[in-house]
């Protein structure tokens, strides 16, 4: 029996229609490529996000480094100010003798320190401060050394009010000025140092008080007055540490118009 192409065509078309399109190699290839492209797009998107996160983190790191550098600078500046302060106090103590420290420490301990306090102020016998005076004075001085300036100011004021005739009064008045000075209350500091010079002109604290009065006037930008005060220190107390410090500071006073 002869079968013509025309008779087979419908059967072929039916068979073709029955073929599963998912098994089409071309379609499978396209599906695979779509999946690969989708994965690559996700990877690229992740890379972009990571890059953005990295940029953001780097920006935060730069900001933190800037803050750290600023903090380090501020810390170095504060440390230098503290070193200058302690150096200045040490020089003042050296100029006035070690008795002041001894009196303060012994007074705070309440021990047998009358001799040390007397040596600090050039006093002896009945003029020696009592243990109570030494304790009050020592507490104020310890507060100053510890950087508790407001406590020191209150302590020295109370001491001077309670014991105005004490052999430690000139020392208390001087350290009251120092406490004002390091607190940047220069008007009060100048007044305290002038009181030392007025009430105790022959005190061992007088050269220091005059020197620090000159320093205070410099802080107040009263340059002519500061020059005159420091020059007086060199002339009135030649050969002392105070005179040497005054001469050094005179050389470093900036040129300013008269005020």
| Predicted confidence (pLDDT) per residue in 176-231, tens digit | 999 999 999 999 999 999 999 999 999 999 999 999 999 999 999 999 999 999 99
Is the pLDDT score of 168 beyond 80? Answer: yes
At 24, is the secondary structure helix, strand, or coil?
coil
Interval 9-50: pLDDT, tens: 455 545 554 455 556 776 777 777 777 777 777 776 666 666
Q: What is the CATH number of domain 190-259?
A: 1.25.40.10
What confidence score (pLDDT) does residue 40 get? Answer: 75
Interval 170-182: pLDDT, tens: 999 999 999 999 9
Name the CA radius of gyration of the chain, rounded.
43
Domain segments of the chain as ranges: 99-183, 190-259
């Amino acid at each position: 029996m002869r079968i013509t192409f025309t008779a087979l065509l419908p059967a072929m078309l039916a068979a073709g229609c029955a073929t599963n399109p998912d098994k089409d190699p071309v379609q499978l290839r396209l599906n695979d490529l779509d999946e690969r492209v989708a994965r690559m797009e996700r990877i690229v998107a992740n890379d972009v996000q990571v890059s953005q996160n990295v940029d953001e983190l780097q920006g935060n790191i730069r900001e933190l480094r800037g803050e750290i550098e600023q903090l380090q600078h501020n810390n170095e500046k504060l440390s230098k100010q503290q070193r200058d302060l302690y150096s200045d106090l040490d020089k003042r103590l050296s100029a006035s003798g070690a008795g002041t420290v001894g009196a303060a420490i012994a007074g705070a301990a309440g021990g047998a320190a009358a001799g040390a306090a007397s040596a600090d102020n050039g006093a002896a016998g009945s003029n020696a401060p009592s243990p109570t005076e030494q304790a009050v004075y020592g507490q104020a001085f310890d507060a100053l050394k510890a950087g508790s300036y407001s406590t020191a100011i209150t302590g020295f004021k109370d001491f001077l009010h309670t014991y105005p005739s004490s052999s430690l009064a000139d020392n208390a008045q001087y350290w009251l000025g120092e406490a004002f000075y390091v607190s940047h209350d220069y008007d009060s500091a100048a007044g305290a140092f002038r009181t030392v010079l007025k009430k105790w002109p022959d005190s061992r604290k007088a050269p220091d008080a005059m020197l620090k009065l000159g320093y205070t006037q410099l802080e107040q930008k009263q340059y002519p007055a500061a020059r005159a005060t420091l020059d007086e220190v060199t002339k009135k107390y030649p050969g002392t540490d105070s005179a040497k410090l005054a001469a050094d500071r005179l050389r470093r006073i900036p040129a300013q118009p008269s005020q």
